Amino acid sequence: MQQPTNDIAIIHFLRGIASLSVCWFHFTNGRPDFLPIDNTVKMTGAYGWLGVEIFFIISGFIIPYTLYCNNYHISRFKGFMIKRIVRIEPAYLASIILVIILGYLSTLSPYYKGEAFNVDLKSLVLHLFYLNAFFSEPWLNVVFWTLAIEFQYYLFIAIVFPLLVHNRLLYRVITTLALLGLSKLIPQTYLFFHYLPLFLVGIVCFQFRCGLAGRNESFSLGLICIATCQVFAPYIMPILALVVALMILYVKISYNRFFWLGTVSYSLYLIHVPIGGRVINLSTNFVEAEWARVLICFITLAICVFAASLFYLLIEKPTQQLSRKIAY
């Protein structure tokens, strides 16, 4: 495994935190009747969904950072997209297969309650191109919608990148403000434009960290982007966005063993719902005591981290290494 440099090790750390937060949200709050509404552990996961927004900020920073470090030019668009597809698609496709297999096996259990598991061919094909939301087709995994947003962002950033790194201040400012305007003009939640303020927080951090923008420019545009994030969760999201931005810019940490969670964060994000959700659902047939169900939440998290580690080693890591060999 290639260790992150100390310059951006914080990104690896934040990935682990974001993935863990989303998992904890689904395990403690995904099934409303699993834990009482006033349960302390349940309340600790109530805002875990914000991990998704942290992922968007991280992508806002790390994708242009990587493009910049690799001297990207729009003429290398094809190479960039091939590199991203090789990096993310195999694990994504493997997780779809996992969902289908577990969905079918679940119906064979005597404890299974619900309708028979069926996979619609149209929906499955749409999954391959992240188009389900465009055709009002449900996702096989509730987290897949965020991958669609990320993929749209990859396409977009590869095109507008030259404007974001332009050596003239006016071009950078107009581009940032225009993108913020787009987020208001195109409010559909299945389009990445709706989440542009979050991505832009990361982009502004990238410009400052790489010396493309001065302190005054970055501070002013950063505050505007952070204030615009209020649309997602009043008061909470702007504060979180500010904290994440400051961590990216100023927190220096070194690689350590805890970073394994960041390494497997993508795998954990992909498989925690189909695996963890079934552990939670199955446990309801045998466990009723509140303290025992709290324990189940922790056990489920441990199971999913272990499963994600295997998933990473067997599927994600080989394709990750292959992606590194592809030049823009």
pLDDT in tens, 258-302: 688 999 999 999 999 999 999 999 999 999 999 999 999 999 999
Residues 94 and 317: beta-carbon distance below 8 Å: no
Is residue 17 scored above 70 in pLDDT?
yes
Nearest to 86 by CA among 325, 253, 322: 322
Residue type for position 69: C
Residue type for position 298: F
Average pLDDT over residues 231-250: 90
Residue 182 is assigned to a structural domain of this protein: yes
Average pLDDT over residues 158-183: 95
What CA–CA distance (Å, rounded) separates 282 from 284?
A: 5
What CA–CA distance (Å, rounded) separates 222 from 245?
A: 9
What CA–CA distance (Å, rounded) separates 197 from 180?
A: 6
Is residue 148 scored above 70 in pLDDT?
yes
Residue 3 is assigned to a structural domain of this protein: no
Helix axes 236-250, 196-209, angle to 10 degrees: 20
Residue 1 is assigned to a structural domain of this protein: no
Instruction: Determine the Cα angle at 49 with ends 67 and 261, to 5°.
Output: 60
Structure tokens at 143: 């987290």
Residues 295 and 27: beta-carbon distance below 8 Å: no
Percent of the chain with pLDDT over 90: 86
Instruction: Determine the Cα angle at 85 with ends 119 and 301, to 5°.
Output: 60
What CA–CA distance (Å, rounded) separates 242 from 325?
A: 35
Number of structural domains in the chain: 1
Q: How many CB atoms lie within 10 A of CB 193?
A: 21
Is residue 218 scored above 80 in pLDDT?
yes
What CA–CA distance (Å, rounded) separates 269 from 10?
A: 19
Residue 2 is assigned to a structural domain of this protein: no
Residue 269 is assigned to a structural domain of this protein: yes
What CA–CA distance (Å, rounded) separates 120 from 99?
A: 13
pTM, full prediction: 0.95
- Which structural domain range is residue 198 located in? 9-107+116-324
315 DSSP 8-state letter: I
Structure tokens at 173: 């400012």
Residues 169 and 72: beta-carbon distance below 8 Å: no
Residue 4 is assigned to a structural domain of this protein: no
What CA–CA distance (Å, rounded) separates 227 from 272?
A: 32
Is residue 178 scored above 50 in pLDDT?
yes
Q: Give all strands (DSSP E) within the chain, no chain letters.
A: none
Residue 232 is assigned to a structural domain of this protein: yes
Residue 186 is assigned to a structural domain of this protein: yes
